[in-house]
Structure 1
Amino acid sequence: MTREQLVHAAEELKQASADTTGEVKERLESQADSLHSLAEADHGPDHGRLDRIMHALSELESDVDEETAKRIDSAYDHVKAHRETVSGV
């Protein structure tokens, strides 16, 4: 079962990573890979996992230029939109 919002978030992060280098690039690619995996998993991520991803994205925004930050913010919004569909908490 594909979780479309997570796929969109991963795509935004892949695009954002294209404009970065070093550790920031690695962190963006890692988050994108995680989101792709979560989107295709049998069971979706819980609130805690999504919160950790959102927190990591917030931290990354301060380490990039304005255009890249917009892509990260878009990814954050996609994760948040998916999180609103997760039951519990």
Structure 2
Amino acid sequence: MVREELQAASDELRKAGEALGGEGDVATRIHDQSDQLAKLATRSSGPDHGRLDRHMNTLSEIADQLDGEAKDHVEHAREKVREYRETVEGI
């Protein structure tokens, strides 16, 4: 089962990394977040609210360091994580 929103978030982050040229500390953080979300998208059990919240906070921190196209992609990724989080039972 693929969690479409998380996969879309991962894809948006890959685009953000490409917009940055793939180099630097921020690009590394973006790549790490993209990989983690891609793994969560296909894992047998879905992530909980806490894990999703940590990703959303990290993406917010990253977006604050960017502008232009890269920032837009990170913000779209954060929105996709938020959309998925709304479907998770619990809190």
Question: Common fold, TM-score beyond 0.5?
Answer: yes
Residue from 66, 69, 85 that aligns with 2:68: 66
1:48 matched to which residue of 2? 50
Give the distance between the partners of 1:56 and 1:77, measured in 2 at CA: 13
Query: For structure 1, which runs of at least 5 residues remain unmatched after alignment?
Result: none
Give the CA deviation at 1:78: 0.3
Aligned length: 89
**Identity, % of aligned pairs?**
43
Displacement over 3 Å in runs of 4+: none
The question of 1:39 aligning with 2:41 is answered yes
Give deviations 1:47-68, integer Å, cap 9, x for gaps.
0000000000000012112221
**How much is the aligned-residue C-alpha RMSD, in angstroms?**
0.7
Q: TM-score, normalised by structure 1?
A: 0.97
Q: What is the TM-score normalised by the length of structure 2?
A: 0.94
Counterpart of 1:10 in structure 2 is: 10
